[in-house]
């Protein structure tokens, strides 16, 4: 028998992890679980830097998918106009 449980996280159940909005990749490695938790449960965005330059970003997947859909819609609109 397989038992699964679902937990709904809300901001009143726990405080969001104390993760800065921008951090070095080498520092993020040590707290990656908290970076993902911030994104997944609290809609947080964390920019990852290398040598002071932003090189990646951890965002909630629904934000990313919404952005992809918006880009596709814009490309389709531009294609239809030409």
What value does the mean pLDDT take over residues 13-38?
A: 91
DSSP character string of 37-70: HHHHHH---EEEEETTEEEEEE--HHHHHHHHHH
Per domain, the residue ranges of the chain are 22-81
Q: What is the pTM of this model?
A: 0.74
Biggest CA pair distance of the chain: 58
pLDDT at 33: 96
Reported CATH class of domain 22-81 = alpha beta
Average pLDDT for 62-75: 95
* The predicted structure's pLDDT at residue 15: 75
How confident is the model at residue 12, as a pLDDT?
Answer: 47
The CA-based dihedral angle spanning residues 34, 36, 41, 45, taken in that order and rounded to the nearest 10 degrees: 100
């Amino acid at each position: 028998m397989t038992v699964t449980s679902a937990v709904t996280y809300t901001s009143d159940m726990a405080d969001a992890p104390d993760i800065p909005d921008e951090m070095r990749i080498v520092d993020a490695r040590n707290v990656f679980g908290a970076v993902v938790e911030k994104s997944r449960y609290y809609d947080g965005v964390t920019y990852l830097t290398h040598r002071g330059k932003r090189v990646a970003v951890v965002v909630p997947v629904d934000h990313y998918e919404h952005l992809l859909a918006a880009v596709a819609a814009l490309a389709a609109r531009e294609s239809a106009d030409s």
